[in-house]
Structures are given as structure tokens and as C-alpha cells.
Chain A
């Protein structure tokens, strides 16, 4: 799922993005694997909670990095993270109260994948461009 073009040129962020894409890939692979939904449910739940935790860790680290470098668009970026965290929490709430319905898990998987690609490819790329304009990662 990870592609070289998603690299932004900041080592810490790129390595976390790779990890995040890899966790999302595991989640989607499990979700889409052949077989009865109930049989793979345990694995779906497990990969999902891993991934959820990692999203939070990554958002926090990325926001701290933006504060450290004084990234001018950090408030807007924080808001994008907060909005997506809210989306994740909304689904988690639904899964906890209504159970892990296959269609809903697939819908969540699709939102997660497309959001991640767009966010990394567009918003995060701009952090890389800012760092580059300030003379690279040494600042």
C-alpha cells in the first residue's frame, strides 16, 4: 500500500507513515480475506485496535514536530487530525454498541484508506515542502 511518492522527506514522519500504511494494509487484508466473517472477526478487532492506537501516537508526534519547527499551517493541520480522530471514534462507538457488522467495517476501512492517502499525499507533503524551503531537516 505504501508508495515512495508518499515520502515527505522528514525521517521521523516518513517512518511512522510507513508503519501506519503497513498497519492499515494488515487491517484491510484481514477484512478482505476469504472466509466466514465471524471466523475472522477476532483478527479484525485485533488489527483494528492496533491501528487505532498507532493513529493517535502518530498524530501526536506529527503535531509535536510541527510545533517544534513552527509550521505556519499547524492549526489547520491539527484540525484535520481532530476531525479524523472524531470519525474514528464515531465508528468505534458504533462497533461497540452495534457489533462489528461486515458492511460497516468495510465502509470504515474505505474511509481510513482514502483519508490516509489524501492526507499524507497532500497535507503532510506540505510540511515536507516547508522544511525543504527552510533549508532541510537540520532546523
Chain B
């Protein structure tokens, strides 16, 4: 997978985090990984279709997920319930939508499939012989990962 697909997701994540959460993610690492897996307790999984095909996973530690929803709602959250997981799904959806708008400027026309939320379960999504990219970002309230496996059609 080409590293150039990473930047639109990174930029969209920074924009949306700033706007919705007043947080400023910084790159802490970017590496190629053999397996595409949700690395933390709360994950948003989105499919990409169109000129690029593949999968994007946002993985958040539990405490960070709860804090994100608290920042948006002003309400203390103590469990990843239906409200927290739907809110994370929406944030993932908005970031990916913005990333695809940026990709469309490079003439890649893509769509996203509705987010799937995984809580506390770990699942492998990799396809054989394909390396995925794992981007780790640190913020004021914790570190989270974006895993991507995107291929040109």
C-alpha cells in the first residue's frame, strides 16, 4: 500500500479532532505491519470502495474513548455503551469522509461503508501477502492507532 494514502487520513484526523475535541494529534510512529488488527479496546472499522479498496480501522484505548465523548457531550461517561460506541463511529465516519474528499482532489473517487464498532474483541482483517500501515498518534488524552490497508483498483 502506498504511503501517500496516509496523509489525507492524518490531515482529516487532525482537522476533525481540533474541531470536535479541541485536541491536537501528533504522529508518534508509522510502520508497515503484516496483520491488520484492532489494537485497542474500542475500534471503528470502515470499508473503502471505489478507486481505492480496503479497510481503515481507528483503535482507541477505553479511557480515551470515554474522554472523547465527555469532551463532546459535557457528560461523564463510565462505560462504552451504545451512545459512546455510536459517537465514536460517527467521529470515524466524519474523519474518513473528510479524508476521501482530500483524496478526490488527487482524482481518487471513493466511498465509505457504514462504520462497524468493535468493543473489547480483537479481530484480524488482513489479506495474505499485503502489508498494512499502522499510524500511531498521540494526543493530550492518550495514544490511538489508525490502521489502513488500501489498494488501487
Contacts and interface: CB of A to CB of B under 8 A. Distances in A.
Contacts of A117: 19-20, 72
A121 B83 CA distance: 21
A21 B89 CA distance: 21
Interface stretch (B36-44, B52-60, B73-81, B102-110): B73-81
B65 interface: no
A83 B82 CA distance: 23
A49 interface: no
Given A1-B73, A1-B74, A117-B20, A32 B91 contact: no
A107 B82 contact: yes
A6 to B, nearest CB: 10
Interface residues of A, number: 23
Contacts of B83: 28, 31-32, 106-107, 109-110
By size class, the interface of chain B is: 10 to 19
A29 B82 contact: no
B86 A111 contact: yes
B73 A118 contact: no
B108 to A, nearest CB: 23
A79 interface: no
Contacts of A2: 74
Please give me the 6 A-B residue pairs with the lowest Cβ-Cβ distance, nearest first. A110-B86, A106-B82, A114-B90, A106-B83, A110-B87, A1-B74
Interface of A: 1-3, 5, 25, 28-29, 31-32, 102-103, 106-107, 109-111, 113-115, 117-118, 121-122
